[in-house]
Amino acid sequence: MANPADPTPAADKAAESTPTAATPEKPSDSYVQSFARGLSVIRAFNAEHPAQTLTEIAQASGLTRAGARRILLTLVGLGYVRPTAGCFG
């Protein structure tokens, strides 16, 4: 229900609360934060950045270096990423 004292149009409010790719909806019972963090590390790699340092991956994924390192080491153990000369790729 609209608040007559609030001058913000309802469409603007809906746009503000609509989740985007950068801020996905996080349902409390079904959202797996660690999985989402792992995917953010995987998304840090692309054609322009096939190999990166730990710091670059942490910055690109929005994680701490420690968090990114743990995920990278898991991905290495599973065979998805290879460590090479101070980089991961």
For residue 73, give the H/E element and its range.
Answer: helix 65-77
Cβ atoms 51, 84 nearer than 8 A: yes
Domain assignment of residue 6, yes or no:
no
- pLDDT for the residue numbered 18: 44
Q: Does 40 fall in a domain? A: yes
The pLDDT of residue 1: 52
> For position 41, which CATH number holds?
1.10.10.10
Is 65 a member of any domain?
yes
The answer to whether residue 28 is domain-embedded is: no
CA 66 from chain centre, in angstroms, equals 15
Name the pairing type of β-strands 83-84 and 87-88. Answer: antiparallel
Instruction: Note whether residue 41 is domain-resident.
Output: yes
Number of domains in the chain: 1
Structural domain boundaries enclosing 43:
33-88
Let me know if residue 51 belongs to a domain: yes
Question: Residue 20 pLDDT more than 70?
Answer: no
> In Å, what is the CA distance from 77 to each residue of 73, 80, 81, 89?
6, 8, 8, 13
Confidence (pLDDT) at 29: 79
In a domain, 80, yes or no: yes
Say if residue 54 is exposed, middle or buried (CB neighbours under 10 Å; 0-12, 13-18, 19+): middle
* pTM greater than 0.75 (yes/no): no
> Is residue 67 in a domain?
yes
